[in-house]
Structure 1
Amino acid sequence: MSGLLPFAAALDQLLTGVEPLPAETLPLDACAGRVLAEDVSARLTQPPFAAAAMDGYAIRWTDLHRPWQVVGESAAGHGWPGTLGAGEAVRIFTGAPVPAGADVIVVQEEVARTGETARLTGEGPPRIGAHIRPQGQDFAAGERLLAAGTRLSAAHLGLAAAGGHGTLAVVRRPRVTLIATGDELVLPGATPGPGQIVSSNPAMLTALLRAAGAEVYDPGLIPDNRAALAAALTAAEADLIITIGGASVGDHDLVVPVLKELGAALDFWKIALRPGKPLLAGRLGGTRVLGLPGNPVSAFVTALLFAVPLVSRLAGRAHDLPLETLPVAAPLPANGARRDHLRARRTPAGAEPFARQDSALLSLLAQAELLIIREAHAPAAPAGTPVTCIALDMFHSVF
């Protein structure tokens, strides 16, 4: 295994110097899931006036236990313009401005009213200021509402809207071009001819990369032809080009030689990883390039370990995968010189690796809830030994 770059060194080399992409300004309804590029401060005070928290009557606390003369009404969007005097009350509704002079609201269930005269019939409010939301209770103009780097949720967008913002500056989504190569491939939904198989990787990787924050472009299947591959590579307008297949050393594996012909600089090629040894990384001009293996499980694992962190960092997101320590449910043999990733399921006894780990078995990948990480040269692990796992079920549900 001499000459194979260790996993940690390869990932560190890939991510060194990677910064979030420049910002773009978008309307709020296009910002969900995006990452803020700059702090957001309130342009408004919320609420902008003292507001009623309940339906009832606005009065002066000192008048609580005497009859009141109802002199007007305050509704949301239609406040009462006067100043409350001694013995006076204003009928008020939730969200309406509290009249000047009033300092408490009596809820309507504790008031008896005859014509324009009203009085307290219940226990009344517990204190002065009860059932009134003070001006600026939520936030004041100039206050920081959201910090740069925040990944925007629905609640964040509501807060920004209330603070007076109709647009936000967010980190631009990384543009990723997927290039799947192979004469043997046909598009999903087509019937394969003799010696052909369906191209399943682009659909799988597109979903994975979009979940990490990317915009993904797929130009279609590229044949095993130098000119066609070179044309696809040079036509890509992307922050990251991901090739799928063709990165090994066979006569029909053209990715590396074509990249070299185009003047690409390769940072590494082949790493101490299982599945996924024939992984390459480099640059073609100003565009990053990742070359993934063609076997579906190898493509998925290398994309998860390398493409997802890279795209996440470009998108301004945290890029740590969800890890979990569980007892292994069955004994594991000693590992070799490559870091391994075993597909597994959750059981009451812990992480149970599947008996078959072939890198072409998509059915088992679809069933996998975990990837058990076996570091290079890890000793044999009896059942019950704690093992570190990538929690695929958590990744798919929250990433």
Structure 2
Amino acid sequence: MTLLPVADAQTRVLALGRAVRPETLPIADTIGRYAAADIVALRTQPARPLSAMDGYAIRFDDLPGPWDVIGESAAGASFPGTVTPGQATRIFTGAAMPAGTDCVLVQEEAAREGDRLTLAGEGPVRGGNVRRAGLDFREGEVLIAAGERITPTRAALAAIGGHGTLPVGRRVRVAIAATGDELVPAGSAIGPDQLPETNGLMLAGLLADLPVDRIDLGILPDRMDALEAAFRAVDCDLLVTTGGASVGDHDLVKPALIAAGGSLDFWRIALRPGKPMLAGRRGDAAVLGLPGNPVSACITAILFVRPLVARIAGAADPLPRPIAATLAHPLPANGPRQDYLRATLIGGTVSTAAIQDSSMLRTLARSDCLIIRAPHAPAAMAGDSAEILQLA
């Protein structure tokens, strides 16, 4: 069977995702969600010209002065009158510019005795130290595009744009099942042929910053009846399994998915580590079957599970974005699969771990990035640029 390139596999995985229905929530409850529609400004900001500095609001044509100070304009308490030639008002940062004024003489360049104001510096340029109306945005402009994540700063932007609620995708229901007769819960007494289950814990952590309601299916045995029953019973948007996706006699996730009424989209990727991953559907739910090896499970979760969860939640651009770094040492030519080397990044220079065996969970835990090596990439030298994915 031909192995599917990583980029093609990501495209097909994202196509499996069906966006959840939108809901409208108070802004404070939308942080971390994805905008379900364009968020448009309901007002102009600033609504009128404001002072950018503490000082005095004057007419530029009255320079170099002097001026008579006739009042004060503060944020939330603007000067109600009109400033005429030869007059000025005391003004504070964020206050509305009084009618008749067009620039601000900063207080460091002003001298005042009583109500008499004189120039004590160079003075402003025409329109200087003034934030014009609409400098940030104008009513009707798009503040947050559909599919963008509501970050704390975007939430603040929407609020100052006049919104109290926002339409966002609901939380994604993700069911996670570990498969394998050798697995026992972490912290349990362990026999010589057993292993603590770690993938569910790791997946929960990898999805913690996304809008997810997690359904823990626990550890499922390597039995067709148990797997089929669990797959049929779960109600979710995405089912993620770990283990049982390869070609051994006890790798039953694929046939159990078919028996439960599901369908397979693809199986096996030109990826190292993580080749024996499968993707499919059952009813309205997407299904991803990850390898049981924890390193392979982590890397396939970063490349496929997180992006799919984000897409289902409404993200317009869910794939992880690599950045460039400089290699600290040479790398050999790569083989036919896209490789993700565990590495550390210090000051823009990246170093690979000495042992890249996919069983080395401690190596992964000590790494903070992955070096991406394209299929058949030629040997690279120290000082060459490389693409990396940073790990949380």
Same fold by TM-score, threshold 0.5 exceeded? yes
How far 1:165 moved relative to its partner? 1.6
Letter in 1 for 2:129: H
Secondary structure at the aligned position of 1:5 is classed as: coil
Q: CA deviation at 1:172?
A: 4.0
Equivalent in the alignment of 2:148: 150
Partner Cα separation in structure 2 for residue 347 and residue 128 of structure 1: 48
AA of the residue aligned to 1:318: P
Q: Is the 8 A contact 2:262 2:281 kept in 1?
A: yes
Q: Give secondary structure in 1 for the equivalent of 2:220.
A: coil
Contact 1:372 1:387 in 2 (8 A): no
Partner of 1:240: 238
Change over 3 Å in CA distance of 1:301–1:144 after alignment to 2: closer
Shift of 1:364: 1.5
Structure 2 counterpart of 1:192, one-letter code: I
Q: 1:276 to 1:108 in 2, by over 3 A?
A: closer
Query: Amino acid of the residue matched to residue 391 of structure 1?
Result: I
The aligned counterpart of 1:164 is 162
Q: Structure 2, unaligned stretches of length 5 or more?
A: none
CA contact (8 A) 1:344 1:372 kept: no
The TM-score, its normalising length taken from structure 2, stands at 0.82
Distance 1:139 1:356 in 2: 53
Letter in 2 for 1:100: A
Of stretches 63-72 and 290-299 in structure 1, the one that deviates more from structure 2 is: 63-72
Please list the CA deviations of residues 368-398 of structure 1 after superposition, one character each: whole Å capped at 9, or x if unmatched: 43345362xx48x556399996624x2x25x
Q: How does 1:314-325 map to 2 (within 5 A)?
A: 314-315=312-313, 316=315, 317-322=317-322, 324=324
Q: CA deviation at 1:240?
A: 1.1
Distance 1:225 1:388, change over 3 A: farther
Q: What is the aligned-residue RMSD (CA, Å)?
A: 3.5
* Partner AA of 1:38 in structure 2: A
Cα distance in 2, alignment partners of residues 98 and 356 from structure 1: 66
- Is the contact between residue 245 and residue 278 of structure 2 (CA under 8 Å) also seen in structure 1? yes
Is the contact made by 2:4 and 2:268 (CA closer than 8 Å) also made in structure 1?
A: no
TM-aligned CA distance change 1:119 to 1:179, over 3 Å: same
Sort the Cα spacing of 1:121 and 1:87 in 2 relative to 1 into closer, same or farther, 3 A: closer
Match of 1:278 in 2: 276
Moved more, 28-37 or 177-186: 28-37
Q: What amino acid maps onto 1:281 in structure 2?
A: A
Q: How far apart are 1:145 and its partner, in Å?
A: 2.8
Number of the residue aligned with 1:221:
219
5 Å-filtered alignment, 1:48-127, equals: 48-64=47-63, 68-109=67-108, 110-114=110-114, 117-123=115-121, 125-127=123-125
Aligned-partner Cα distance in 2 for 1:304–1:390 = 15
Q: Is contact 1:74–1:90 with CA below 8 Å preserved after alignment?
A: yes
Q: Work out which of the two has the higher radius of gyration on C-alpha atoms and give 1 or 2.
A: 1
Alignment of structure 1 residues 305-384 onto 2, 5 Å: 305-315=303-313, 316=315, 317-322=317-322, 324=324, 329-330=329-330, 332=332, 335=335, 339-344=338-343, 354=353, 356-368=355-367, 369-373=369-373, 375=375, 378=376, 384=381
Helix, strand or coil at the partner of 1:221: strand
1:229-266 deviation per Cα after TM superposition (whole angstroms, max 9, x unaligned): 34432343322101111233445433233322211112
Change beyond 3 A, Cα 1:7–1:383? closer
Compute the TM-score of the two structures, normalised by the length of structure 1.
Answer: 0.81
Contact 1:351–1:370 (8 Å) recurs in 2: no
Q: Does 1:39 align with 2:18?
A: no
CA distance in 2, matches of 1:265, 1:388: 41
Return the match for 2:178 from 172, 177, 180: 180
Q: Deviations over 1:88-141 (max 9, x none)?
A: 433322222222233343333413122xx3121413633343333333333222
Number of residue pairs the alignment of both structures matches: 386
